[in-house]
Structure 1
């Protein structure tokens, strides 16, 4: 277990925060720090054909050790962290034999990780938890996944008596800003299917995710001295507020769950003359997803029509761009790959939790690129913030699931 702890900490203490405002890949130069370290580590544990391209995509191979042809499978994780919360100067704290009480992350700032708010903590009484120090995120999303894949490959190399087919490893940058699969070479990867190790609590197994779109709105206005503004001023901020007020009030992230979709305002920046708003649209159902996009457009059209004469043209500019789609469409024809992961968990005494992802993974994009790719738990909780933590035992179980999947797949004739 200490080996997993040491490996995980060596990854999370390297800042790999993605930058959504950058046009480069990777979006931040510091992602190279961990990428280059991973390349050397993969070589050192004995993987073959370890490569990294000019955009920091990493691939490696564990050759088959059996004399018959079986499916080639892959395991994928991302090494960037979200820009939603700082990932600089991560100082992990280790809580041994967690007693089920409050965990003081930062005494000076009164940051407490409490089961009274985060009830899932009680699932891990008696286990070893790795937390933040209350000032940064942890980075278990998805450095826990990377830790698990590397550790599993190392174990298989050290135990050649465990029979397996060819296994591929893939690590990507910029997943957190929706670009993780942009330059992933599926053909080179050469897998029949793969799994992302990017889920949350132990047992999670997911083959459904949101259909996703991003919306950018620019509201224009006319600035006039407020003392003489009657009939002349148009305040773009109030127009933006009017648009937002037309969105369904109950269809927001904080009031939805399971298969329920939402509209989510993620950015608002304005003045009288110009206000920019960004929102995201999410829904598992493709038809409902398309209706949501049309609804977003309809609100803008109505505002434009109302102000057409006064403004002399469109007062709202709107751009709607699809980001990714529900991978269920691509996984359902090959549901045996989900069944294999489910069987692996059951063999290890883990209760599979099959549920939809209220988000997306590299796997959703890869599935549409010809690589069916369900998602398996990596063990972390409370991603993207200072309350993030991961039980070490969950990471250990994820390692065992990878190994068990390799063993099961080795029994399948291609």
Structure 2
């Protein structure tokens, strides 16, 4: 256990926050600090063909120890953290034998991680938790996944009696800003399929995610003295509000769950002469997804007819539901499910209400379901991860490799 704790803490103390406003890859220079460390660590534990390209994409190989053919599989995680909350000066706290009560993260700021609000905590009574100090995020998303992959590979190197085929690992920058797979070289990676270790609670196994698009709406108004504005003023703020109120109010993140889709306005600013807002569109169903985008276009057309073409919209697809790429090869999900059950983990198969590198990679020719990494409350000061969940994730990775070798024997 201590090895996992020490490795994880060494990673999260390195600030790797990505930046959506940057055009470089990685989007922040500081991501290189962890990338360089990971390259050294992969070499140290005995991995081969360790490479890092000019964009900080890391790949490495654990060679097969068998004399028969086994499909090449991969395990992938990202090392950037979210721009939504500070990742500078992460100071993890280790809570041994959690008693099921409130955890004071920060005495001065009176910040408390409480099962009254975060009831998932009660699942981990008696376990060892790693939390923030209340001033930053933790970075379990996805440094827990990196910890688990490297720990599993080190275990396999040290235990050659466990039979396995060729295994590839990959670590990516900029996943949190939607670019994690953009420059991933699938051909170079050379795996038949892979798994992202990037889920939340222990047992999660996901092969469905949202179809996703972003939109930016810009309104050009006309400012006139309000005392003489009759028939002359065009208030961009009012038109922006009118656009937003036409959207179905019940179809927002706070009012939806499971496979429900939504519209989410996450940024707006404006004056009388100029207003703009940004939103994301999400839906698991491709047809419903297209209808949502069309609704935005229809609203734009309606308001332009009323207000003399003052509204512009830029729509951009971001990623699609990987289910359509994974379902034809469902044996890769079944393998992960069997591995979980073999190590005492109950599989929780459900759709991701978000995206993952795996969704883009699946459409790039690398089918890539998502497996739990163990963390909770990502992207904020209440983030935590049970160490036992990370241990289970390590066991699942090892068992996937072992089971695949067993199933491949005698087939070639």
**TM-score, normalization by structure 1:** 0.98
2:150 match: secondary structure: helix
Q: Following superposition of structure 1 onto structure 2, how do residues 211-290 of structure 1 map, counting pairs within 5 Å?
A: 211-290=211-290
Instruction: Give me the whole-angstrom Cα distance separating, in 2, the residues matched to 1:96 and 1:46.
Output: 31
Match of 1:343 in 2: 338
Q: Does 2:299 correspond to 1:322?
A: no
Match of 1:398 in 2: 393
2:328 match: secondary structure: helix
Match of 1:170 in 2: 170
Q: Following superposition of structure 1 onto structure 2, how do residues 2-401 of structure 1 map, counting pairs within 5 Å?
A: 2-308=2-308, 314-401=309-396
Instruction: Give me the whole-angstrom Cα distance separating, in 2, the residues matched to 1:267 and 1:73.
Output: 40
Instruction: Give me the whole-angstrom Cα distance separating, in 2, the residues matched to 1:382 and 1:191.
Output: 31
Q: Which moved more, 1:88-97 or 1:221-230?
A: 221-230
1:183 match: secondary structure: coil
How far the C-alpha of 1:230 sits from its partner, in A, is 2.3
1:152 match: secondary structure: helix
Cα distance per residue 1:100-158 (max 9 Å; x no partner): 00001111111110001100000000000000011110000000000000000000001
Q: 1:409 aligns with which of 398, 404, 411?
A: 404
Instruction: Give me the whole-angstrom Cα distance separating, in 2, the residues matched to 1:129 and 1:379.
Output: 11
Instruction: Give me the whole-angstrom Cα distance separating, in 1, the residues matched to 2:380 and 2:113.
Output: 12
How far the C-alpha of 1:226 sits from its partner, in A, is 2.4
How far the C-alpha of 1:228 sits from its partner, in A, is 2.2
Query: Which runs of 5 or more residues in structure 2 are unaligned?
Result: none
Cα distance per residue 1:308-362 (max 9 Å; x no partner): 2xxxxx2011011100000000000000000000000000111000000000100
1:168 match: secondary structure: strand
Instruction: Give me the whole-angstrom Cα distance separating, in 1, the residues matched to 2:103 and 2:338.
Output: 35
Give the number of equivalent residue pairs: 409
1:410 match: secondary structure: helix
Q: What is the alpha-carbon root mean square deviation over aligned residues?
A: 0.7
Match of 1:311 in 2: none
Instruction: Give me the whole-angstrom Cα distance separating, in 2, the residues matched to 1:377 and 1:302.
Output: 44
Instruction: Give me the whole-angstrom Cα distance separating, in 2, the residues matched to 1:272 and 1:136.
Output: 37
2:279 match: secondary structure: strand
Moved over 4 A (4+): none
Instruction: Give me the whole-angstrom Cα distance separating, in 2, the residues matched to 1:220 and 1:270.
Output: 10
Instruction: Give me the whole-angstrom Cα distance separating, in 2, the residues matched to 1:41 and 1:272.
Output: 55
How far the C-alpha of 1:276 sits from its partner, in A, is 1.4
Instruction: Give me the whole-angstrom Cα distance separating, in 2, the residues matched to 1:333 and 1:197.
Output: 21
Instruction: Give me the whole-angstrom Cα distance separating, in 2, the residues matched to 1:320 and 1:230.
Output: 33
Query: Which runs of 5 or more residues in structure 1 are unaligned?
Result: 309-313
Instruction: Give me the whole-angstrom Cα distance separating, in 2, the residues matched to 1:254 and 1:73.
Output: 37
1:408 match: secondary structure: helix
Instruction: Give me the whole-angstrom Cα distance separating, in 1, the residues matched to 2:387 and 2:271.
Output: 48
2:390 match: secondary structure: helix
**TM-score, normalization by structure 2:** 0.98
Instruction: Give me the whole-angstrom Cα distance separating, in 2, the residues matched to 1:296 and 1:36.
Output: 44
Cα distance per residue 1:165-202 (max 9 Å; x no partner): 00000000000010000000000000010000000000
